[in-house]
Structure 1
Amino acid sequence: MGGPASFRPKPGSIPDSPGVYRFKDGDGRVVYVGKAKNLRQRLNSYFADFAGLHQRTQTMLTTAAAVDWTVVGTEVEALQLEYSWIKEYDPRFNVKYRDDKSYPYLAVTMGEEFPRVQVLRGAKRKGTRYFGPYSHAWAIRETVDLLLRVFPIRSCSTGVFRRAEQIGRPCLLGYIDKCSAPCVGRVTPAEHRALAEDFCEFMAGNTARFIRRLEREMRQAAVEQEYERAARLRDDVQALQRALEKQAVVLGDTTDCDVVALAEDPLEAAVQVFYVRGGRIRGQRGWVVDKVGEVTPAELVEQFLLQMYGDAAAEALPREVLVPVLPPDAEAVSQLLCEHRGARVEIRVPRRGDKRSLMETVERNAAESLKQHKLKRASDLTTRSKALQEVADALGLDQAPLRIECYDVSHIQGTDVVASMVVFEDGLARKSEYRRFSVRSTEGDVASIHEVIARRFKRYLQERSETGELDADPGAEPGEGTEGIEGIEGIEGIEGIRPTGIDPETGKPRRFAYPPNLVVVDGGPAQAAAARRALDELGIDDVAVCGLAKRLEEVWLPGEDLPVILARSSEALYLLQRVRDEAHRFAITYHRAKRSKSVTESALDEVPGLGPARRQALIKHFGSVKRLREATAAQIREVPGIGPATAETIVSALKGQHP
């Protein structure tokens, strides 16, 4: 293949009307399907500046060997054709949503002579009405058990039903009045179908009329002194009410909507949907998608709506779809859904009120779903082993990097500069080995990385020399490189932590001075080169170094002009990204704590007569400068070491400051 230039369409050959295009590889397989309002502008953007394209788009173009297109009349037709082609060809570079778990549905087989209620998973069947999905099968069974008192439809299997027909005796449910026993002719097929239709109508959200009807019959039975029948009807009403209580009321009774939320990282995205019918949450469902190409949240939403509702029954579409961000062609998508439903479907972003609160709840569920998905991958031993071996192969290491250290720098415009070191052993986080650094350099991230790597490995060499494993560096001062290093939260500094060899007091290995197999830095070629330079200056040549750049998820090796591109679906990239993200989180946490402390100290620095001990006592007593500002002089005098005059000085000084 000669690259994108070899199959670029001739100038003027592409129409400027709406349409759908396909990129194909050398074997004629469709690798990407897209739509455009203007085909000429969209396709020219792929070929005009190849170097300026996203790395994933470049990969798609180098994989492709041809492009063709189909002109349509409107944007809605383009959406329809794009969805059809994606279903038909399953292109490798298009977004694909997959369930993050198998969700159970409540199903009623209306296509059978005697409809049956059951819990089903997997593909939907023709002639069956579905309700849900639900998070747990047991929740459905509890609801069904309550509803069968009022709507005693069949719930047995075909084998049980036929056996009851043969022997002329119903099963246990028929005897306890939780089945109308059509198997032995207690009800006609028409009467049983009417019960099934009422059951479906209740599950669809039309609940009030059934409760009103039962209450009316209960009162009439009491008037006629049929107290046993009235008591049974009362129990039926309570059963329906308990079934309704199992579904949270979140919005008005007339609200009929689906709430869609996203949580994403550079590699994957999780989607959660809450189904609200009649103001109640009837079910939820989740998907996880690999972000193969460059895709925005708006594009994710558009692709999700098309894939989710493309094959859904018309009655499954709600009147309203709440999304975190509108799709790029919101009007066209809305029109397509309206045509499919046969009624209006509104797509909008909730800004305030109950719907916004519910959206935030769904967003939290999406974030948790993504977190659990990543933890599930990380906890698998086979997957971790594969990831480590893939890292070794990609970086040219002699063996899998069983210990990886990752470094990240955090600051705001060069102030309160800090760095973090996180440790992964055998592909798992070793939080007891985490360290934090107060960075002295103010020359930027590259200089900060050089300083932190140098300090960490100077300490490593020093501790080895103290145990006789290595001759001492004659140019190093005692303790050089250790200032400003802190352990995990709750450990002040590193005093007493001497992990080289065996600690004579505890008898445990000193783990901090174990050298890593691989050092990962958050950044590109400049940061990777700075880390390598720091190690070279210390004479350390047995530790590999790489940088992981956020924007394109490229892996940079020191001295290389081009990055190492790992496959988007590779476990190696997933592991390196997880290590980098953990270092970033740890650095941000430390930076925020340090910045908050700096702000507090600077506010009290301006108060005359206050030394470090008194400042610390005040903050410990009140908890924050804000609460200290609100305190009276009498309350401030309660702090040990603060007299009346000092208290008045503090009140005057803080009142004059802006909160």
Structure 2
Amino acid sequence: MTVLNEKIAYLLSTCPEKPGVYLMKDNKGNTIYVGKAVNLKNRVSSYFTNMSAHSYKTKKMVSNIETFEYIVLDNERQAFLTESDLIKSLRPKYNILMKDDKSYPYIKITTQEQFPGIYVTRNRSDKNAKYFGPYPGRVSKKNTVTLLQSAFMLRSCKKMAKRPCINYDMHLCLAPCSEDCDKNKYREAVDAALRFLSGNGRDLIDEYKSKMQAESDNLNFEKAAYYRDRINLLTTISDNYILDTDRNSADIIAYARMKDFVSFFIMNIRDGKVADKKTVNIHQERIEDTDIGYEFIRQYYDTNIPKEIVVYNEIMNREDTEQWLFNNCGRKVSITVPKKGKLKKLADAAYENAVVTLNLFMGQYKNSAGTSMVYSLASFLGLETVPDVIEAFDISHLSGQDAVASQAVFKEGVPYKSGYRRYIIKGDNTRSDTDSLREVMERRMKRGDYPDLFLIDGGFNQVAAVCDIVGDRVPVAGMVKDDKHKTRALIYDAKEYDLQSDRNLFVFISSIQNEAHRFAIEYNRKKRAKKVYESELDNIPGVGENIKAALLKHFGSVRAIKAAGEQQIAKVQGVGVKRAKAIYDYFHKPYGG
């Protein structure tokens, strides 16, 4: 059994279960390894457990780890990019396999052509095309481009043929090589692909949802199904796309404060890449809010001043601070507080990391419960008991179909995965979210072992419905979102509490609401995917689970299998000529044979 030093043990206990990058440090403070993770807590913990299963190199590295740091990011692709940038910048001792400057694939759309195509490339020399990326190696032609072709049906051929190819039959291309191709429809598909890849995927999905509903209301079910399929495809891959900074040299700075504790998070961008990150913690009585950013910049910068400083928090005397920076480095340095766009995303990420750093700093400094987020929540709502155990609930469905609910549990302010629970909503598809919540809470209350607080994704109506069931056994609060689906306020005791007045608490409640939503929508997607998998193939004699899986893996969809010939089907491993004929006959002969 590995014996951990107290610092690492504490860091592991507070490490978030979110995507990000981790930096292993030796006793001199040098970064000896940089890695990425979908779940930081699980990945970093794995280094210090089951040591006998590690390679010699990993054991050697772990023996030199004195502490570690991490950067919380939005998704796996952002973690991949940041990891790559930090490795190239810091050249850690144990990142041997990634010290080369190999290029990663980009998605290319030839926008200047009459019928633009979509491709994967490592060469960005074509000035008449638009590029998106880079992407991890596994996000390649076989995966992402095929999904994008299914969603937007753009051509992928290097040179257009004189007649439609199999991609047209498989509904992967609108066939601009055909005289029947609608040029306006193709241009709309190109514009939609560009919007999606440029980071506007959520708006596009919402637009498709509106169109799907409109077609369904008009009884155009085939068109409604078309938009439904597009929604499912785009939802599947939308999390892989983020915007990158186009700044060559900038520092992104954010700070979080609670009482006399302040934590700064600084992300260094050099040559358009994340070069390093730093944290600075301060504990000092009577800190004035208006002076924090101003004083920090004046004391932090001496040399190595970037061309631009992007701050999350507004600072006083911005012009005076810029003049002070100019006097120190001899050139203009701008200070920006972004309100939208790429820099706003980076500033938001920096602030989230500052909050994580602050909570860690306060925990290390002293164990006073008065500084914890659960105590802040109790004070904010006027609760009689500090909510050490919180259960958060969310409902997820697609136009009423496959409704499910999630129960995410937080203990002492951090996710407690062992307590998570999923519910399949019973009844028909006409039930409202409020009715679904009633059902879920009735089932939950029968189990006993109640938490200190229920948090419900919803407003006054949802809270009232849950309170009717829960009574005075557990306090119930609702998490309210704004028009952009972002956390805005809490509903408690028939009153609305605006979270904008307490930024740290806002981030804490947002993290709970987002986790409950993630857990619910993840289950809903799995449930829908299982229904898709249980397809027409189940009705064909001689086609079992293994053959069905092989066919779907080879062709990608039942529609593509229908379009294939007997010989193509027979080539699939395990199918054979006799079974291929049975499959072909089922789809092409009247009444399946």
TM-score bracket, normalised by the shorter chain, equals 0.3 to 0.5
- The alignment's TM-score, normalised by the length of structure 1, stands at 0.37
Larger-gyration structure (1/2): 1
